[in-house]
């Protein structure tokens, strides 16, 4: 900032720079480091492999999880970034007023050395200056996010009064560079604001705690390739039809009615009919196995990872589904046979935990979404 800047005419207001949100997560793949070489720890990724953009995107992912974890989800988490961020790399807002209301500031510092008070003081000056100039309201929480916090600064951050005292020792000394580029009136106002501020707003969480919470998000495996956690067993199919089963069950009933000349209208009627009961039970078991895989993937990896498995299967069976068959039963049987023989792409981290029954069940999920259909008008012989 060179000299004084004009405060906003409307007072403190949200400032969201035109910085794109982090890109949608890509498919999680089996990383080369998992093929036999030692796997870097998350701490090593953070310190030595991440760049500044990775660090800010990682922080956004963690902050979103933090809001939900603390029981007061943020209305929006915005990566500000860039030269015009006015001391806020990531803004997490708690009211519709954005940074003009209650909000938390997360300042991302990805240095090769520990982050010290000499690094912190200028950042603190920036946020006080932004308030004086009407760019933001002062955040109620200001968090330094760095791979390593220097021991002296770490001790100061848990002793807010001492932190404040040492900040002003640097601010008040002759020839201080803190705020030296500000207009004298603005610098005086910044100093006055800082003196009446409770410095407990400044924090620096432990990196192990950050990683522990980030590990609960689907982004963790994409950021830090590690073996998947064990997949839990699938729940059995419920005795009553679940709302999510409506479409694929109706398509199965059409198959049974066409093949056996039945008039089945409900799942319960089909479950009571000896000709179709075993087949129906297997299809429902497969559907819920695939659903269990989907939920496991949802909680473990970004959505695109599971979607890639399902899309690959669709491409493997769609030509068979579209081919001519004697009836819907033969079409269904041919598709399920092809699905059972299909091998998911080995690069996908989910591939090792996908079972044959999951692949059959995914066919019913695709039928549920009207991408596959069994009973069609067959051509005349």
* DSSP output for 305-316: HHHHHHHHHHHH
Domains of the chain: 32-223 (3.40.91), 243-368 (no CATH)
Res. 254: pLDDT tops 90: yes
Query: How far is it, in rounded angstroms, from Cα 50 to Cα 109?
Result: 12
381 has a pLDDT exceeding 60: no
DSSP 348: B
Mean pLDDT of 350-359: 95
**Least confident piece of the model among 69-78, 231-240, 264-273, 287-296:** 69-78
Residue 259 backbone dihedrals phi, psi, to 5 degrees: -75, -40
Residue 3, pLDDT score: 39
Cβ-contact 54, 79 below 8 angstroms: no
**Which residues in 18-38 are b (16+ Cβ under 10 Å) and which e?**
eeeebeebebbbbbeeeeeee
d(Cα 314, Cα 370) in Å, to the nearest integer? Answer: 12
Give the mean model confidence (pLDDT) for residues 92-121: 92
For residues 6-21, give the mean pLDDT.
Answer: 43
With beta carbons less than 8 A apart as the criterion, state whether 321 and 335 touch: yes
pLDDT in tens, 273-316: 999 999 999 999 999 999 999 999 988 887 888 999 999 999 99
pLDDT for residue 217: 85
Cβ atoms within 10 Å of 346's Cβ, excluding its own = 10
Region 166-194 average pLDDT:
94
Q: pLDDT band at residue 237, thresholds of 50, 70 and 90? A: very high
Write the CB contacts of 165 (distance below 8 Å, at least 6 apart in sequence): none
Q: What is the mean pLDDT of residues 84-108?
A: 88
What's the mean pLDDT when you consider all of the chain? 86
Q: Which residues 6+ apart lie within 8 Å of 19 measured at CB?
A: 79, 80, 81, 82
pLDDT digits (tens, 9 = 90+) for 28-66: 555 444 445 567 778 777 877 788 888 888 999 999 998
Q: CA-to-CA distance for 223 and 202, rounded, in angstroms?
A: 27
Q: What was the pLDDT predicted at 16?
A: 42
Task: Give the highest mean pLDDT range of 103-112, 223-232, 251-260.
Answer: 251-260
Cβ contacts of residue 298 below 8 Å, gap of 6+? 218, 306
In the prediction, which pLDDT does 11 show? 45
pLDDT score at 170: 95
- Percent of the chain exceeding pLDDT 90 equals 66
Phi and psi at residue 313, to the nearest 5°: -65, -45
């Amino acid at each position: 900032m060179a000299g004084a800047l004009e405060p906003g005419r409307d007072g403190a207001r949200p400032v969201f720079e035109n910085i794109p949100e982090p890109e949608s997560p890509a498919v999680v793949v089996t990383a080369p480091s998992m093929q036999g070489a030692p796997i870097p720890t998350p701490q090593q990724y953070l310190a030595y492999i991440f760049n500044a953009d990775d660090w800010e995107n990682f922080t956004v992912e963690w902050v979103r999880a933090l809001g939900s974890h603390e029981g007061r989800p943020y209305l929006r988490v915005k990566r500000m970034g860039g030269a015009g961020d006015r001391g806020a790399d990531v803004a997490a807002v708690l009211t519709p007023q954005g940074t003009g209301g209650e909000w938390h500031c997360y300042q991302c510092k990805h240095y090769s050395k520990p982050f010290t008070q000499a690094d912190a003081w200028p950042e603190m000056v920036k946020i006080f200056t932004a308030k004086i100039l009407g760019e933001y309201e002062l955040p109620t929480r200001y968090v330094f996010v760095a791979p390593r916090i220097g021991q002296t600064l770490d001790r100061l951050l848990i002793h807010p009064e001492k932190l404040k005292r040492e900040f002003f020792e640097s601010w008040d000394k002759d020839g201080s560079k803190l705020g030296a580029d500000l207009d004298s009136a603005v610098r005086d106002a910044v100093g006055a604001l800082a003196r009446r501020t409770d410095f407990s707003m400044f924090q620096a969480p432990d990196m192990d705690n950050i990683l522990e919470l980030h590990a609960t998000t689907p982004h963790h495996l994409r950021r830090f390739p590690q073996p998947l956690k064990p997949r839990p067993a699938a729940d059995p199919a419920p005795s009553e039809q679940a709302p999510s089963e409506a479409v694929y069950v109706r398509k199965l009933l059409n198959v049974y009615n066409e093949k056996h000349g039945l008039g089945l209208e409900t799942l319960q009627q089909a479950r009571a009919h000896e000709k179709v009961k075993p087949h129906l039970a297997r299809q429902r078991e497969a559907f819920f196995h695939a659903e269990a895989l989907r939920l496991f993937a949802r909680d473990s990896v970004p959505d695109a990872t599971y979607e890639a498995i399902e899309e690959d299967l669709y491409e493997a069976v769609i030509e068979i589904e579209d081919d001519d068959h004697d009836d819907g039963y033969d079409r269904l049987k041919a598709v399920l046979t092809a699905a059972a023989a299909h091998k998911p792409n080995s690069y996908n981290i989910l591939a090792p935990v996908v079972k044959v029954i999951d692949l059959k069940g995914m066919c019913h999920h695709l039928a549920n979404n009207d991408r596959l259909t069994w009973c069609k008008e067959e051509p005349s012989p």
